[in-house]
Every structure is written in C-alpha cells, then in structure tokens.
Amino acid sequence: MGSSSYRVCVCFTRKFKVAEVQPPSDVKEAFKEYAEGGTHMNAEQLRRFLVEVQGETEATLAHAEAVLQQILQKRHHITKFTRHALTSDDFFHFLFSVDLNPPIRYKVHHDMTAPLSHYFIFTGHNSYLTGNQLTSDCSDVPIIEALKKGVRVIELDIWPNSSKDDVHVLHGRTVTTPVELIRCLKSIKEHAFSASPYPVVITLEDHLPANLQAKVAQMLTETFGEILFCPESESLKEFPSPEDLKYRVIISTKPPKEYLEAKRLADKQNSQKERESDDDGWGKEPSSTDAAADEEDDDKIDNGGSDRNQDDEDDDDSDDKPHQAPVYKSLIAIHAGKPKGGLVEALRVEPDKVRRLSLSEQALEKAAESHGMDVVRFTQKNILRVYPKGMRVTSSNYKPLLSWMHGAQMVAFNMQGYGRSLWLMQGMFKANGGCGYVKKPDFLMKIGPNGQVFYPKEKQPVKTTLKVKVYMGDGWHLDFKQTHFDMYSPPDFYTRVGIAGVPADVVMKKTKKKEDNWTPIWEEEFTFPLTVPELALLRIEVHEYDMSEKDDFAGQTCLPVSELKPGIHAIPLCDHKGEKYNSVRLLMRFEFVEC
C-alpha cells in the first residue's frame, strides 16, 4: 500500500514539471529569414525586422543597436559592445519580453491642444468609497489609488459634518463612514500628477449651505494655490485644452445661484422629487429606494428637507449668501447643471457658453434611443458625464461603449468595482500613453454641410480587418501555486479573444484547450472585420477548463485596437482588478488588412 502511494506521488510530481519553452514556427521562420540563413542576427537585420514585420517604420540602425544591447543585457547581463548579434534564442526572448516588445505604444502621441470636450477622460464615480455604495468606509486611499492609475476626474460628495462647522465627504442617505474633505484635497494635491501631467478635474456634488461653500472655497485656494485653474470670465465660451491645463486642478460643480434656485423650487414642491418622465424621453427620477446612488448627481433637482438636514441653516444665513457665493463661484471652471425643461432643452448647444451635463446610464440609453444625434452634437462642444444607476450598490459598472459612441467624455466608473466593464474602461485608457485623455475619433467631431453629425445607429461598412494569432502563453507556474488550478495535474488553458466596440463589431471566439500544460501552445488565428476600429477594444482572457465546476480565471487584458502595433508581441495579462501579473503573458501576432 505504501509503495503504491509513493508511486502515485512521483507521478504527480512528474506531471507538474514545466517543459522548456520552445519558439513557435513563425518565430523560427522570421529569424531564419532576417538572419539570412545564418546563426546570428545583427543590428541591421534586426532593424529590417522591426520595420517590415513589427511596423516600426521609423526604426533607425541606432535604435536597433540599442534594442540589441538591451536584449543581451537583460538575457545574459552582457555589458555594452561585447557582442553585436542575437542567437535564435535571444530573438525569441526579445519577442516574448513584455518590457522590450509590448503590443502598444506607451507614450503620449495624440494632439493635446484641442478643447477638453474633444477627449474621452478617465473618470471616477464616488471616488472616495472603499467598497460598496451603502456601507463601505469613505477614505482618501481609493482616491490616491485612482490617481496613480491615471484617473483624471475625481468625484467628491460634500456634506456638512454633524456639528455643521466643517465639511465631510460621504455618500448621502447611506451609512458610509465619512472622511474629511481637507484630507481628500491634500491627497489629491500630493498624487494628482504621479501618473500623468494632464489636468485633474474634481467634480463636487455639493450639499452645503453658503457658509460652508465659503469654507470649501478657502480650502481649495489654500490647498492648491497657483495650480487651481480659475476662469477669467464667469462662464467659458470654449474649454481650454489638456496641454494648456497641464499640472492644473479644475473644479466642476453647479454654481451656488443655480443650487439655491433648485433648492427653493424643491421646497415649493413640498419636498416632492421633480418628475422627469416628460414625452421627450428624459427618464424618470429615481426613488429613494435606489440606495441614494443617484441623489449625488448635480443635474438632479435637490430633494428638499427630507434629504438634507441643513435646510433651516440655509434660510438663516440668507443675508450672507450674496457675500459668500462669489468666491466659491469664481473657482468653478466647468459649470454643471440641468436647464429647465426636458431632454431637448438639456442638450441645447449654446453659442457663447459651454457646460457639463450628467445623465444616469438609463437616461443615456433613453436619450440615445430618441435623440442620438443631439447627444453627439452636444458632446462636440460641451461635456457629458454618464454615471452608474442607483441599483449598482455593489459598485459594479455598466458597459461604456454606448457612452463613447455618443461622444460622452466623462464615463464615470466605480474604480473600486470589478468585472468586464471595468476591464474595458482600463483598456480604453491604456491608449495615448495612459495619460487619462484619449482624443475622440474625428467622426465624432465632424459636422456635415447640412449640420449632420455621426449617427451611432447607422451601420457602417467594414473599414479594416484585424487578424490575431494566439501563439502561446507562459508564466503561470511562476505567479501561481502548482495546485492553484488543479490539485493533481497541470492546468488545461484556453484563450478567449474578441472585440468590444459598436454592436456590429462585437464578437468573442476561443482557442481549443491545451491539456496538462503550464506553457500552452495554441497557434490559432482569428479574423475580426471592424466597421469602427477607432472605438474597438481587443478583449483577451485566459481560462482554465474545469469539467465539474466553473472554469478558473487565469488572466485578462483589453487593448485599444487603434494602438496595436502590427507584428509579433508579448501581451502582459492582469488579474480581476486589472493589476498586471509579474510573469503571465501571451505571445500573439497582429495584422491589419485594409479594405
């Protein structure tokens, strides 16, 4: 019995052994062709490969020599000038290196001199929450984490503290534990530009009386000083550019006057919520059972005394308001607010004024259905912010593509959330060097001779075809325990590859599973015809097949198709939250076939 048991253990140990990684046939053939049949590839041969296969059309001999030295240093720790050529193993190591051969460019390359309304902007929702929307703590920690990941719009809900002499950040009408506003502001100041030099927008959901608004104005000016952008006129005719606003902090909220008028209107209506179910499809105001998540947004009319405990104080200090409001108002660079009337009025483009409008994800769906081109027209000059519906109490997120198709700049996401929608958001903002600003496609900014704009519902012809070849994967044995995927044998990996984008382009495909292999080799090719490649994201997921239970997650990433470099590249994979694994990666090839 004992010896039998011993033999079984030896069998398992043997099965867990990781085979040495061999290059795919395409890599061997590429080396043979560009090394011109020799055993080594020199810098000039490497330059030709970079230009002709990897799409690096501007690669010089000096660049190729630098890459060659990097490869030799990383692989063999060989110092400069001791060797001037690569073996086939060196060449394979280069192609499968995430650092040396990434799939996209990691530098800012978009035009950054257009108005802010011309960009998709990496935007957080309830940026101060550590977890769910109802009971989690409020903290500056998730704000810091978001800024480090390149998020450029931070949302803070500001309320009076219990003694009404200071300002707290919390999610109203919930039991979230508050954090002091000043702490959040100081953390924003410290970390604002750790990932990107481009402007940080703070959207304030303001639930304050005038005396505390004045206190906020003081906090903002003292904390940010000269980096706080203050507009020269009361309202901007056009937004400045990200380039103009480098290393600046911008405030966006409703001006106090608008806030007070909305409050008085709400009081007159005996604290009843304004109904937004008019015929033009504006959408219904959420009920209080929507877990308060919609109450924070500045385009909703305030809900009166039942929702705000400082209403009496507002009335008492009415004489001070004219003196206190101007300072606070002068700091608001991006004015928010919903005009009176329905959706058509809300989407009206004013010739001499720009502003920000917020819509819930459901309100956007309704607007897209009935007034899609009006939304696009509005976003060409003004800023549209879309935020999660109130029922997303677990901090889940919605699909962002509908918003982007209509030009919405601020697609507000729960960055502390989870799931495939968040992966898409992270994928979009890998573009343009991860700086948090992605220039919108030209078609969203064009106005035709008769005033026509892009019509998102209209099916477009295929513009380009993306061919994706999945060669192999490696690194799981380094980042996971041997028994993580299967107690008794190596994993059975397969890869899912597909497109997120406009409806006509959406598709997912998958490779066959490779049984009992830590370094699976698939060598399968997939073809994706794309009608709107500018908005397409390449979705990549690896799973481990499980016969009896749900397949295990083994990594994911999303890459903007517009940023993909042609040729053979190493694709780093991330965990559920979007954090990059240390070693897990795929080797893939991308090819574009123009129509």
Active site (catalytic) residues: 125, 171
Q: What is the mean pLDDT of the chain?
A: 87
Look at residues 213, 209, 214, 127 and name the one whose alpha carbon lies nearest to residue 170: 127
pLDDT level of residue 29 (50, 70, 90 thresholds)? very high
Cα(492)–Cα(513) distance, rounded to whole angstroms? Answer: 6
Q: What is the mean pLDDT of residues 321-326?
A: 63
Please tell me the predicted confidence (pLDDT) of residue 74: 87
Instruction: Report pLDDT for 418.
Output: 84
Confidence of residue 16 (pLDDT cuts 50, 70, 90): low
Q: Rounded to 5 degrees, what angle do the CA atoms 572, 575, 579 make? A: 75
Q: Write the Ramachandran bin of 104: left for phi over 0, alpha for psi from -120 to 50, otherwise beta.
A: beta
Band the pLDDT of 234: cuts 50, 70, 90.
Answer: confident
Distance CA 206, CA 338 (A): 14
Of 240, 232, 247, 237, the residue nearest 116 (C-alpha): 240
How much is the pLDDT for 594? 87
Confidence of residue 82 (pLDDT cuts 50, 70, 90): low
116-444 shares its CATH topology with 464-594:
no
pLDDT at residue number 311: 34
Beta pairing, strands 153-160 & 167-169? antiparallel
pLDDT-based confidence at residue 595 (cuts at 50, 70, 90): confident
Q: What are the residues whose beta carbons fall under 8 Å from the beta carbon of 503, sequence distance 6 or more?
A: none
Residue 207 CB burial class (10 angstroms; 0-12, 13-18, ≥19): buried
Supply the pLDDT for residue 267. 58
Q: Can you tell me the distance from the alpha carbon of 176 to that of 351, in angstroms, rounded to the nearest whole number? A: 42
Phi, psi of 579, rounded to the nearest 5 degrees: -80, 135
How large is the average pLDDT for residues 575-585?
96
Query: What confidence score (pLDDT) does residue 341 get?
Result: 82
Q: Break the chain into its structural domains and give their ranges.
A: 13-95, 116-444, 464-594
pLDDT tens-digit series, residues 499-549:
999 999 999 999 999 999 999 999 999 999 999 999 999 999 999 999 878
Going by C-alpha positions, the residue among 223, 414, 384 that lies closest to residue 298 is: 384
Q: What is the pLDDT at residue 297?
A: 47
The pLDDT value recorded for residue 77 is 76
Quote the pLDDT of residue 262: 58
The two tokens of residue 37 are: 């049949």
- pLDDT at 286 > cutoff 50: no
**Residue 394, token pair as written in the block:** 């677990």
Ranges 54-63, 281-290, 434-443, most confident: 434-443
CB-based contact 314:210 (threshold 8 Å): yes
Question: What are the DSSP calls for 499-548, one per residue?
Answer: EESSGGG-EEEEPPPBTT-SS-EEEEEEEEEES-GGG-EEEEEEEE--SS
Provide the pLDDT for residue 76. 82
**pLDDT digits over 376-399, tens only?**
999 999 999 999 999 999 999 999
Confidence check: pLDDT of 264 > 70: no
Q: Are 516 and 488 in contact (CB under 8 A)?
A: no
pLDDT tens digit string along 120-129?
999 999 999 9
Cα separation, 67 vs 86, whole angstroms: 11
Instruction: Say which amino acid occupies 397.
Output: N
Greater confidence (338 vs 49) lies with 49
Bridge partners of residue 295, in order along the sequence: none
Q: Please state the CATH superfamily assignment of the domain spanning residues 116-444 in this structure.
A: Phosphatidylinositol (PI) phosphodiesterase (3.20.20.190)
Residue 451, pLDDT score:
87
Q: Contact at 8 Å (CB) between 390 and 171?
A: no
Residue 258: the pLDDT is 57
Other beta carbons within 10 Å of 16: 16
Question: Looking at residue 365, what is its pLDDT?
Answer: 97
Contact 358, 299 (CB under 8 A): yes
Decide if pLDDT at 212 tops 60.
Answer: yes
Instruction: Report the topology of domain 13-95.
Output: Recoverin; domain 1 (1.10.238)
Class for the domain spanning 464-594: mainly beta
Distances 196 to 30, 248, 429 between C-alpha atoms, Å: 37, 11, 12
For 118, other C-beta atoms within 10 Å of its C-beta total 24
pLDDT tens-digit series, residues 456-469:
889 899 999 999 99
| pLDDT at residue 288 tops 70 | no
In terms of residues, how long is the chain?
A: 595
The pLDDT of residue 257: 66
Q: Are 235 and 110 in contact (CB under 8 A)?
A: no
- Give the residue-averaged pLDDT of 336-349: 88
Q: In what order do the strands lie in the sheet with 507-510?
A: 507-510, 493-500, 537-544, 552-560, 567-574, 580-594, 464-474, 521-530
Q: How confident is the model at residue 294 (pLDDT cuts 50, 70, 90)?
A: very low
Q: What confidence score (pLDDT) does residue 191 get?
A: 98
Whether the Cβ atoms of residue 323 and residue 213 lie closer than 8 Å to each other: no
DSSP reduced 3-state for 289: helix
Q: What tokens does 370 get?
A: 């009935």
Q: What span, in angstroms and rounded, lies between the C-alpha atoms of 300 and 267?
A: 14
Amino acid at the residue 198: Y
Average pLDDT over residues 140-166: 97
Greater confidence (190 vs 548) lies with 190
